[in-house]
Structure 1
Amino acid sequence: MKTSDFSYDLPQELIAQTPIEPRDSSRLMTLDKHTGETCHRHFYDIADLIRPGDCLILNDSRVLPARIYGVKEDTGAHVEFLLLENKGNDTWEVLCKPGKRAKEGSRFAFGGGLFTGEIVGVKEDGNRLVHFSYEGVFFALLDEIGQMPLPPYIKEKLEDKERYQTVYSKEIGSAAAPTAGLHFTPGLLDKLKGKGVELGYVTLHVGLGTFRPVSVDRITDHKMHAEHYYMPASTAELINHTKERGGRVIAVGTTSCRTIESVAQREGCFKESSGWTDIFIYPGYEFRGVDALITNFHLPESTLIMLVSALAGRENVLRAYKEAVQEKYRFFSFGDAMFIGDLK
């Protein structure tokens, strides 16, 4: 199977640059995973598609305002830092731009001196290790001066940082938002719970690798980035209970989907589990936990469009995407949504 098998034509003007208000007023395409039949709704209609006894599994990861700007102490040069991973002891792996100004031993001030950082190592891939010094709470300081690491295809400035967070985000650690969840409002979640739909949470910290294009011709040659996940016992029990009573396990977003399927692969069942996953889901994959998926529209030739094609079939997905383009749906992170599942 080739990467080019997952390509489609997308006019640039359909790439959503800003979030829509209110959150749940975005459009929603439904796609029957068996028949390929589509229908057009709004996201607030999702409560009509989810049945009592179903469960929603949501990723509660919270995005770090991870883009910060440092001033080099000896030269005054400005360098952009993107925090990638907390290595412990106030040391982070970061992406620096321009990297030539961030050599080992270089020191930088951030936020007019709110905290400082020293380059303590340079990795083979060019990423830096930075040790930060500060007074107070690092994440509070970061929230004060940091900017959201929006995807490269979003050119507009985000006025409200909370619009790149889900309303249920809690566990800080992502470099990008689990965007399928951006459509939910507290009121919509309450409506679902009132209908008898149970909610469970997992944590998967989204890495920047989620935007990395597939650069090989054969998809089986692609190496997935690893991301850290955690499934609590309560969520595992909810999935088991839902399966036992004949309900559907509905993943909100590809990150929740990958977490559920990673636990199934690693543990052979659903129980409390944590670790790193580089699971790659593409057509031919047999789902062991996920019955349906709420997701956004994904980039051509990306691992994410391969994942949804595994659930609903490549031909069905590409046909639905072509229809979405014709109907002028909004694409990618701030765009519209799909509900993929058994709709009979």
Structure 2
Amino acid sequence: MGRLNDLAAAGQAVWLDFVDRKFLAAGGLQKLVDEDGLTGVTSNPTIFEKAMGHGDAYDQELAAYDKNHPGAATIDRYEHLAILDIQAAADTLRPVYDRLDGKDGYVSLEVSPYLANDTDATIAEAKKLWAAVGRPNLMVKIPGTPAGVPAIAATIAEGINVNVTLLFSIEAYKSVAEAYVTGLEERVRQGQPIDRIASVASFFVSRIDAKIDDKIDAGVGGEEAKALKGKVAIANAKMAYAWYQDFIKTERWQALAAKGAQVQRLLWASTGTKNPDYPDTLYLDTLIGKDTVNTVPPKTMDAFRERGTVGQTLAADIDAARDVIAAQERLGLDLNGVTDTLVEEAVASFSKAFDDLLGAIAAKHPAEHATS
């Protein structure tokens, strides 16, 4: 039993922020489940672009699909490849899902980033992906944008598990927590069960510090602000968790819990440090708490396995976190403006990765693999 296993004892699930056909086929995911207690996997357009757009691991499967579906649209070709990987990962994690009675063991697949501002199209895409993957331990990733919020409520009401992504601000998080509850309440009204519905709210961390630190380095806030470097994202996450702890005590949530509802766990994403001056386990060591998830890139997972520190850190020093948030506002670092910008940049970044991904798949012409 190592440090990653110890996180489970502290109430935090560890998910892998990576998926790749060769990795799955070689038993890499199963090894992490067996040895490190891994209980989930996340994917996004950037991850799939790196997996599918480079090398030949997917060429034979793509050639077979093209042979049986001549003239298929590029996005359909991508979805075919992605769904096979997601199904394989879901099947590897199915024993975890069964053992934990649906509390974990999930694999996430993202709706098209092109739909981030289209509620109805997002709902339709979520339904399509849910049916195509056909695994109860799938989570469909929906961005927590203004258009995504009603899509989250509608998708939960349909009985589809949701990983809400691209959350940076506490206000946005509150909106998606409300959407999750609204969706569950609609299922109750319909006489549908809610005990097997799961959701996570993915709060991005390191990108906040990268933006805030750049401002501090540029002189915003003067000398006093330098003490806040590397602290704002963690404080922001702690305040979100404090709100969550209060929220699950409310009568509204307790009424759903009495019917078997699972909490919507906060998930820490973007947990690889971007500043080499910071410890590479910073966003794991400092964000450990009950009913949370940390989705970790492979390099950060290796680092934590070697030198991570396990303790109930997320609920600790809340007053200090509150002071950091107050100080950044007083010094003009504008966390609210930063988080608004980060949402826009993240949607654009994932859309660009999706462009690159589809371009790479389109370049793999069926004729190139006619004999595969």
- Same fold flag (TM > 0.5): no
Greater fraction helix: 2
Higher RCO (Cα < 8 Å, 6 or more apart) = 1
> Would you tell me which structure has more strand in proportion to its own residues?
1
Shorter chain as denominator, the TM-score bin is: under 0.3
TM-score by structure 1 length?
0.28
